[in-house]
Amino acid sequence: MKRIPFALGVIAAATVLASTTALAQQYPSRPVRVVVAVPAGGSIDLVARQVAQRLTTSLGQSFIVDNRPGGAGIIGTDAVAKSAADGYTLAMAPAAFIASHPSTFAKLPYDPVKDFSPVINVVLQPSVLVVNPGAPFRTASELANYAKANPGKLNYGSGGEGSPHHLSAVMFDGAVGSKMVHVPYKGGAPAMADLLAARVDLIVAPVPEALAHIRGGKLRALGVFSPRRASVLPEVSTMVEAVGNSGLVLDTWIGMLAPGGTPRDIVVTLNGATQKALAGDLRERFAEVGLDIAGGSPEQFAATIRSDMSMYARLVKESGMAIQQ
């Protein structure tokens, strides 16, 4: 085998490095697609569009939102996982598609760790436990005491088995030692409708979906599952405060991810530009609809994903739910 002289090898390596760096410095040089694996409208789509508008301005290329719904978010998420790792296809995804799906589906076409490069945790979407105002429970503590003393008498709705809001209720059940009955629906909207009609006793819902009903007096908020009170509902206690159990924390998020193997320089560019956008008017814009700014480094987001995957795996096991094939 013919050996390459050391000096030539160094020159070749430097050339490759310079070429890669130049490409990263030029990023983006054409439009970027931001895949949202749900229909237009709703929190995820809102976050994607608001962030995309500001990245278009700051980075000088169009960031175009591409809604690709279907298959519980798996179709669109998989499309990003299998895209070229060049920064021109991104995902704006909720915790469910990345952190809980591995525990609720027997098989996924993508690996949530290996197939993605976390860019930034964009927002936290607090979850709130709500009851019909006709319910006798004024506080989460009263609800916990009743549920524990009356196993099987309370039922709670959710947008489907294995959803973060189903698993938040599972967390509450386990923490207070109760045994409530789960009533799964095909989406959060019908679950909310049945709570408003008092056909179920309670649900855990994203704050943005429950906010108008809470403010209008149609629902009573008993507590949020965040480590701190939701900025838009400062009068509502955290579940930790209300029940006195430090384990009652489940922060759902919406974050930006690139395909696995995306060059570090591109990830850093996207992270920095998004951080700058979040430090501007987006904080107030998102707060209006019940979303709290997250931010942080790619490494912090990766750590959050790993931690949440472990948490969801434990909650799915505790729930006894059947894994989707």
Structure confidence by residue, pLDDT tens digits, 192-211? 999 999 999 999 999 989 99
In this structure, are 136 and 224 located in the same domain? yes
User: Containing H/E element for 267?
Assistant: helix 264-278
pLDDT at 20: 45
Shared domain check, 182 and 36: no
Buried b (16+ CB within 10 A) or exposed e, 82-106: ebebbbbbbbbbbbbbbbbbbbbbe
| Residue 79 included in any domain | yes
Please state the pTM of the whole predicted model: 0.85
What is the Cα–Cα distance from 292 to 299, expressed in whole angstroms?
20
Residues 145 and 231 in one domain: yes
Q: Are residues 228 and 134 in the same domain?
A: yes
Instruction: Kindly state whether residues 188 and 258 are assigned to the same domain.
Output: no
> Is 24 within the bounds of a domain?
no
Instruction: Report yes or no on 325 lying in a domain.
Output: no
State the Rg of the chain over Cα: 22
- Bridge partners (DSSP) listed for residue 63: 32
CATH of the domain at 315: 3.40.190.150
Boundary of a domain, candidates 243, 269, 303: 243
Judge if 119 and 222 occupy the same domain. no
CA 41 – CA 222 distance, rounded (Å): 27
Report the range of poorest mean pLDDT among 54-68, 107-121, 147-161: 147-161
Domain boundary among 243, 276, 306: 243
Distance CA(204)–CA(169), nearest Å, equals 7
Q: Band of the pLDDT at 5, cuts 50, 70, 90?
A: low
Say what the pLDDT of residue 161 is. 85
Asked if the structure places residue 9 within a domain, the reply is: no
For range 147-163, the mean pLDDT: 92
Q: Is position 22 within any domain?
A: no
Q: What is the DSSP code (8-state) at residue 98?
A: I
Q: How confident is the model at residue 9 (pLDDT cuts 50, 70, 90)?
A: very low
Query: Is the pLDDT score of 282 beyond 90?
Result: yes
Looking at the structure, tell me whether residues 258 and 239 fall in a common domain: no
pLDDT of residue 17: 43
Final residue belonging to a domain, choices 217, 243, 269 = 243
If asked whether residues 78 and 148 sit together in one domain, one would say no
Same domain, yes or no: 115 and 173:
no
Write out the DSSP string of 19-65: HHHHHHHH--SS-EEEEESS-SSSHHHHHHHHHHHHHHHHHSS-EEE
Please indicate whether residue 160 or residue 217 has the higher confidence score (pLDDT).
217
In the chain, the number of structural domains is: 2
- Please enumerate in sequence order all residues whose Cβ is within 8 A of that of 199, keeping only pairs 6 or more positions apart, or say none: none
20 found inside a domain? no
Lowest average pLDDT, out of 18-22, 40-44, 243-247, 312-316, goes to: 18-22
Q: Is residue 152 part of a domain?
A: yes
Q: What is the CATH number of the domain that holds 216?
A: 3.40.190.10
Residue range of the domain that includes 232 = 127-243
Q: Residue 104 in 3-state DSSP?
A: helix
Asked if 153 and 200 touch (Cβ cutoff 8 Å), the reply is no
- Co-location of 77 and 146 in the same domain: no
> Does 13 map to a domain?
no
For residue 23, with 0-12 CB atoms within 10 Å meaning exposed, 13-18 middle and 19 or more buried, which class applies? middle
Same domain, 99 and 133: no
Q: Is 67 found in the same domain as 53?
A: yes
- What average pLDDT does range 118-142 have in this prediction? 94
